[in-house]
Every structure is written in C-alpha cells, then in structure tokens.
Amino acid sequence: MVAFLLAAVLLVLFVIGATRDLRRLSNAVLLGLAVAAGGAGALGPPGRLPPGTARAVADAMPVAALLAALAVAVLLVGNGVLMVRRAGGSPVHLLPLLAGSAGLVLIGVLWTAARVDSRPLHAAAAAALLVAGYLAFLLLCCLGYSALYGRIPPPRQVDFVVALGAGLDDDDRVSPLLAARLDRALGLRAEQERNGPPAPVLVVSGGKGTDEQLSEAEAMARYAADRGVPAAAVLREDRSRNTAENLRFSDRLMRENRPDYRCTVVTSNFHVLRTAVEARRAGVSGQVVGAPTAGVLWPGAVLREFGALLLCYPRTNAGAVLLLAVLGATAGWRP
C-alpha cells in the first residue's frame, strides 16, 4: 500500500513537471521512480508469499539480474566489435565495446567477491554495484522518457523548422544520418504548407569542421534547394560546433526574424531527449522531433547521449556517484 501511494505521488509530480515543460530531465527520473515504486507495490512484501515461494523468488532475482546484465554486456561488446570493423575505431563506435567490457569486468568482480573472503574486495564490489545500479536506472529512465517524448506529435503551426547538423561525408555531401534529419524537416514543412500557408522557414544549423570544405549549413541548404525549397525560405546558421551552440545560435537567428516565434527542432531519434534539454536551457520556443536512425548505430549513439546528459548536471551526478560509492564501500567493508 505504501509503495502504491508513493507511486501515485511520484506520478502526480511527473504530470505537474511535464505540464510545465516536457523538456525537463527531471520528468524522466520522476516517471522512472513512479514505475519502480509501482512495480515494488505489485510484487508485494515477501511475507505475503508462502515460505518456499518467497525463498525461490529471493534466490531467482539475483540470478535473473546477473543473466540480464551478462546478456546486455555481451550484446554491447558484439555491437562494438561490429562497428569498429565497419567504420573504424572512432570514440562513438568504441563506446559499446568499452561499456560491454566494463559490464563483464563488474560481473566478474561481483562473482569473485561472492566467493572470496576479502573485505577490500567486498567494499569495492559493493561500491561498484551501487554506482552501476544508479547509472543503469538513469539510463532506463532516459530511454523510457525519450521513447514517450518522441511519440508526442509536434505542433501543427510553427514559424520555423530547425534541422540540426550531423556531419558531412568525405566529399562534403550530406551524410545519410543528416539526410534523414533533413527529410523529416522537409516533410514537416511540406505538411504545414499543405494545411495552410505560409510554410515555415527552414533553419539549417551546422558549422564547418576542420576536415570539411564547406559548412554543414551550406550543404544542408543545397540539399533543400535540390528538393524545391526556395532560397528565401532557408536561413543558415553556420557558426555552431555542437548541439548547445546549434540551439543557441539558431534561437538568436529566429528571434531576429520573429521575436515571438514558435519552432520545431529536428534531430535524430537517439538525440531527441538531450536536444530537448538543451533547447530548454537555450530558451528555444519549441519542441523536438526525431528522424529514424539505423539500428546498428543505436548503442554507441545512445551511450554518447547518455554521457552528455550526465554532464549537463555534473554536480548532481558526481555527488550521487560519490555518495553511493562511499555507502557501498562502507557496507561492503563491514564483517
């Protein structure tokens, strides 16, 4: 009963936060906590089960968690190896391999700690387990809320559609990932034009990389022109180097043209939640929608986005990790 009451309170707080602004990361955490509390309430206290059943459930849960963690770690390693073979050892492609390897190491440490009588090992294992649990919970919260947020239809009438850059191919043409973003942005623009003019202005946002001959914005503008978008209906933001600058500089550009603007920001579906958080911080007046991404790219991209989200709140997350590590080490050190 207490768990269900807690879940209801957390759900109310989530609804209040989402009503105020869908782009709050706290919405993801509140929803995750509400689901966890509701799940605990549904399981009920162990005392309600027959003694034999309660013991079986208690024995099975750690084994199930261990097998699930092992499966995820192996899949991440496999994806990492595949991406390195296909596209080279860039940091993004190495992330699944590193994360999967770290998971396997943690499982090995926990397995060893359960069989070796060593207080330092028990302390290290307990600290690592609590920190890993915290990060895994936050990752699940972000994935769940990102999926929910991505299903919310964008506003039908906006003044601008902003397409965020995503790098160019070696010949300075729009990459497949960036083309998917542009196609989604152009589709939203065409849909609004069909429902009643005027069509929103397309804002293409992306600077020039050190290995690129032209800015992403210029390549994106050419892509749009090849598909019939008039030059007068395109604004170029060609100074940005990252997502935060994409949004901040695009916001300035839109406000110069229409101070009370409304927009829709288009990015890749794995990038939606962080873009929404960054858009709120930049004061952008609009929601974010995602474009489809090849499934093989998801693990590395999601891990990168999750790391970037953690860095959006460095003090909070560093404090939580430090506190959990100390609590785990203290509990594991005790005889």
CATH of the domain at 214: 3.40.50.620
- DSSP 3-state of 24: coil
Domain match, 227 and 311 both: no
Please give the pLDDT value at position 248. 96
Please give the pLDDT value at position 258. 93
Domain match, 55 and 130 both: yes
Please give the pLDDT value at position 48. 60
Domain match, 173 and 118 both: no
Q: Tens digit of pLDDT per residue, the chain (335 long)?
A: 788 899 999 999 999 999 999 999 999 999 999 999 998 887 666 556 566 665 666 667 777 777 888 898 888 888 888 887 776 767 777 888 889 999 999 999 988 988 888 889 999 999 999 999 999 999 999 999 999 998 888 888 999 999 999 888 877 889 999 999 999 999 999 999 888 778 899 999 999 877 778 899 999 999 999 999 999 999 999 999 999 999 999 999 999 999 999 999 999 999 999 999 999 999 999 999 999 988 788 888 899 999 999 999 999 999 999 999 999 999 988 87
Domain of 207?
160-293
Domain match, 142 and 170 both: no
Domain match, 170 and 147 both: no
Domain match, 39 and 49 both: no
Domain match, 170 and 148 both: no
- List Cα–Cα distances, 219 to 152, 265, 284, in angstroms: 30, 18, 24
Domain match, 262 and 137 both: no
Q: Which own/partner contact pairs does 76-81 have at CB distance under 8 Å and 24+ positions apart?
A: 76/100, 76/103, 76/299, 77/101, 77/104, 79/296, 79/299, 79/300, 80/299, 80/300
Q: What are phi and psi of 50, to 5 degrees?
A: -60, 150
Please give the pLDDT value at position 52. 63
Please give the pLDDT value at position 171. 72
Domain match, 53 and 104 both: yes
Please give the pLDDT value at position 275. 96
**Count of the separate structural domains present in the chain:** 3
Number of CB atoms found within 10 A of residue 319's CB = 11
The residues facing 160 across adjacent strands are 201, 263
Domain match, 206 and 281 both: yes
Please answer whether residues 113 and 328 qualify as being in contact, where contact means their C-beta atoms are separated by less than 8 angstroms: no
Would you say the pTM of this structure is higher than 0.85?
A: yes
Domain match, 103 and 121 both: yes
Domain match, 99 and 178 both: no
Number of CB atoms found within 10 A of residue 303's CB = 21
Number of CB atoms found within 10 A of residue 156's CB = 11
- Sign of dihedral through CA atoms 96, 98, 99, 102? positive
